[in-house]
Amino acid sequence: MDGLKFVGQRVPKKDAPLKATGDAVYIQDLKVPGMLHGKILYSKYPHAKIVKIDTARAQALPGVKAVLTGADVPNNFKFGFLKDNPPLKSGKVLSTRDEIAAVAAISQEIAEEALDLIEVEYEELPGIFDPLTAMKEGSALIHEELKSNILKLPWKFVHGDVEAAKRESAFIAEDTFSTQWVTHCCLGTSGCVATFDASNNLTVYSNTQIPSLAQNDFLEALKTFGLKKKRVRVIQAVIGGGFGSKLDTYAYEYIAILLALKTRKPVKIVFSREEEFLATSPRQCTITKISQGCDKDGRLTFREMEMVLDNGAYTSWGATTPSVMMVPISSLYKVPNIKYTAKCVYTNNTYCQAFRGYGNPQATFAIESCLDQLAEKAGIDPHEIRRINANESGELTPQNFKITSCGMKDCIEEVVKRLDWKGKRGKVDGRGVGMASLIHVGGAARVYKSDGCGTIIKVDDNGKVDVITGSSEIGQGSDTIIAQIVAEVLGVGVDDINIINNDTDVCPWDVGAHASRTTFVAGNSALGAAEKIRDQIMEIAAKSLGESVEALEMKDGIIFSKNDKEKNIPFGKVLRKAHYSLGGRMLVAENFYDPPNENFDQTFRGNLSVTYAYGAHGVEVEVDKETGQVKILNYIAAHDVGKAINPMLLEGQIYGGGLQGIGYALGERMIYDKGYLKNGNFLDYKMPTVRDVPPVQAVIVESDEHAGPFGAKGIGEPGLVPTAPAIANAIYDAVGVRIKDLPITPEKILKALKEKAKQNG
């Protein structure tokens, strides 16, 4: 891969100047003429009958243009993965984030005042806040029309014979691990503006990560509202953080649409920070029973996992995270026998959604913590057991994943080397080292029937290139990666390339910014489109220079003959020739790339991703035995990325993911007490600040994935997947206690130290 000019370079992010000057327009900044402000009233109780809602006083407040309640939602419309969630609830509320009324007014202040004037009479009902209680036979039902609180979802994967493997294993470790709710904390809160034209076509300004799917969701909603054969346009404002939070459509969007329909005015709803904490959907909390075994040489013999997920009161895509949890469960290391079941359970808690890693962090916490327990039983160094069982190229895993390029061993060795593993491990003197590995999809993930992305490239007379892509820019840098790829093919500068990526009226279809897929899929799509347009340009240049296409080369905006450098023509001139010649043509190319990966079959087998991303994190900690405080002394994050198209932006993904992982491991937790969120603000929810940044090294391992654009794999999510178990393992090495329940707080460490001291007498 020599001779690359743009790919592999530390190119600054294309939209960074816009953002660094304050010129970027986020949903918060957007104003549409005539716009009203919408506000939502949430339930006072986690479980209650709504006896009466009186909106008369709110309606009468000057400046209020509409007040809606559940009675105003047409035709019993519900949204979400299982269509169990009405945008405004009537009859009954099932959680404290239940939307029960909404107001549109001429100002934010009036809308807020109107909410206070809505009188709601509730009859409080006992709630169920623990999934294990909700699962019990005879438990009260969250959704009475369903016969059980356990969702009817098929999360089960079996491979080989786990029972036989258990009998034959030399060593077995088993334990129970649990994880907490954490929330995305996007600095830009959620929001949208909905507006109808005179023919009832809808435009939604949004910060969604899934413009094409959101467009479809909104179209379905319009149909249910009785508006058939309408058009929906989704325009993305600059997105102030995603991390999975915007991978679904939400009540607030449907409420804005209903308010806009009622008032015939554009309606904007933007969440306050408190609302963002309350009414967006966190990462699922899980309870995981795990058992793993190995033979006398440390080779893994089986892995068995049973998981319970608190689904909350409604169902979003979060209920499908067990399908992605299966990736590490079946395929992290070579494990011949696997058994996994997961139950998602309705409770009166907040409902969960996608959050970077999509279930993988929870599963990997259990697997990698338990693997250290197994290594200890077998008397093998934790590094050694990982090396022995590491995945390799050419492997076919139990879920039929075809492992192509695989840099897992290299990542593990980088961690060992850079941490001085051998020198530091096993002293139990208050300092310790730990590691954990990861597997994740690295070449998209066929969750939907299509995993595709379209690109259109057009070039105009002046030599500038417009790349119109379906992919979404959520801060990760897809704009820049795509520009680098196209620049490499066309031999023009990154600055000559304009990326258009935010309007469903213009942009081709894409399944969304999820599954770490954008560089791989949108990159391949752009690569194909760029090659097509290059061929067209070369054809015209060849004709003009009297040369064959094969004899031409394009570099620095000039096309020249390899035989005779004097024979050349600037890029822009070729383009003018295309337009200004008799029988002229447009220079436009389109390309749809849908990767050759597979949907799971009914047994959850199938090559979900074209390639898989690997990594290993290693951490050195110091634990204060008096206070339980954990200090990270050194953090190594090694990732197999195939090829770093832009090492600078890639490091940004690793550093950013890593610190989110550290927050997950050591401090972040949404505290729900009987259905009420107790710490829905930045003061009480411990998101990492600059003071929490440890000395950290992002190590890029390039395995050159042949199916990736210029060899690249995805890196959006992996950065936080192995962080929590790596830290838990390091704490164990430092002070000999294992914390199995995230986050690992000083209180839990002190309690465990006390218990350990008691046991030792």
Partner 1 sequence: MKKEITFTLNNEKVIVEVDPKWTLLYLLREVFEMTGTKEGCGYGECGACTVIIDGQAVNSCLYPVMEAEGRQIVTIEGLMTKDGDLDPLQKAFVDEGAVQCGFCIPGMIMSSKALLDEKEKPTEDEIKESIEGNLCRCTGYVKIIDAIKTVADRR
Instruction: Point out which residues bind partner 1 (CB under 8 A).
Output: 10, 12-13, 15-26, 28-29, 31, 184-189, 238-243, 272-273, 474-477, 648-649, 651-652, 655-660, 681-683, 687-691, 693, 696
Gap between the Cα atoms of 434 and 369, Å rounded: 10
Least Å distance, CB 658 to partner 1, is 6
Q: How far is the CB of 275 from partner 1 (least distance, A)?
A: 11
| Cα 680 to chain centroid, rounded | 21
Q: What is the token pair recorded at 228? A: 């058939």
- Residue 347 or residue 646: which is nearer to partner 1 going by CB? 646
Q: Which is nearer to partner 1, 131 or 688 (CB)?
A: 688
Shortest Å distance, C-beta 63 to partner 1: 16
Query: 171 is written with which tokens?
Result: 């060593």
Residues 6+ apart with CB under 8 A from 252: 38, 40, 99, 190, 191, 192, 269, 271, 279
C-beta of 25 vs 549, nearer to partner 1: 25
Residues 98 and 92: their CA atoms lie apart, in Å, by 9
User: Least distance (Å) from partner 1 to the CB of residue 273?
Assistant: 4
Q: How far is the CB of 366 from partner 1 (least distance, A)?
A: 25
Backbone angles phi and psi of 387, in degrees to 5:
-65, -45
Asked if 498 and 464 count as a contact pair (C-beta separation under 8 A), the reply is yes
Shorter beta-carbon distance to partner 1: residue 393 or 681 = 681
Tokens coding 684? 């009480």
* Residue 250 C-beta: closest distance to partner 1, Å: 19
Q: Please say which residue, 21 or 760, places its beta carbon nearer to partner 1.
A: 21
The nearer residue to partner 1, 149 or 476, going by C-beta atoms, is: 476
Calculate the alpha carbon distances from 277 to 190, 192, 336, 677 in Å: 10, 17, 42, 8
Name the residue nearer to partner 1 (CB basis): 582 or 683: 683
Minimum distance from residue 682 beta carbon to partner 1 (Å): 4
Residue with tokens 């395995």: 703
CB of 629 to partner 1, least distance (A): 18
Question: Please, what is the minimum distance in Å from the beta carbon of residue 278 to partner 1?
Answer: 14
Q: Which whole-number Å values give the CA distances from 391 to 13, 329, 708, in the listed order?
A: 34, 13, 19
The residue (of 24 and 753) whose beta carbon lies closer to partner 1 is 24
Write the secondary structure of 728-739 as one string of H (helix), E (strand) and C (coil): HHHHHHHHCCCC
- From CA 236, how far away is CA 232, in angstroms rounded? 13
Nearest approach in angstroms of CB 365 to partner 1 is 20
CB of residue 421 to partner 1, shortest distance in Å = 23
Q: What single-letter DSSP state applies at residue 522? A: I
Nearer to partner 1, 221 or 621 (CB): 621
Closest alpha carbon to 355 in 181, 184, 180:
184
Distance CA 127, CA 123 (A): 12
Q: Which of 12/736 has CB closer to partner 1?
A: 12
* Amino acid (one-letter) located at 459: V
| DSSP letter assigned to residue 85 | B
Q: How far apart are CA 303 and CA 166, in angstroms?
A: 9
Q: Distance (Å, rounded) from C-alpha 411 to C-alpha 44? A: 50
* Distance of alpha carbon 134 from alpha carbon 141, whole angstroms: 8
Do 189 and 271 form a contact (C-beta atoms < 8 A)?
A: yes
Count other Cβ atoms within 10 Å, centred on residue 509. Answer: 16
Nearer to partner 1, 242 or 491 (CB): 242
In whole angstroms, the minimum distance from the beta carbon of 234 to partner 1 comes to 19
| Pairing mode of beta strands 337-346, 156-159 | antiparallel
Which one-letter amino acid corresponds to residue 274?
Answer: E
Pick between residue 140 and residue 687 the one whose CB is nearest to partner 1: 687
Q: Minimum distance between the CB of residue 731 and partner 1, rounded to whole angstroms? A: 21
Residue 26 or 732: the one with the smaller Cβ distance to partner 1 is 26
CA distance 116 to 332: 52
User: What residue type is 674 in one-letter code?
Assistant: K
For the bound state, the minimum distance from the C-beta of residue 465 to partner 1, rounded and expressed in Å, comes to 21
Q: What single DSSP character describes residue 141?
A: P
**Of 448, 244, 451, nearest to 359 (Cα)?**
244
Residue closer to partner 1 by CB (options 219, 693) is 693
Nearer to partner 1, 24 or 388 (CB): 24
3-state secondary structure 287-328: EEEEEEEECCCCCEEEEEEEEEEEEECCCCHHHHHHHHHHHH
Token readout for 455 is 């690109």
Place of tokens 């699962």: 135
In this structure, what DSSP letter does residue 520 have? I
Q: Are 382 and 729 in contact (CB under 8 A)?
A: yes
Q: State in angstroms the smallest separation of the CB of 408 from partner 1.
A: 23
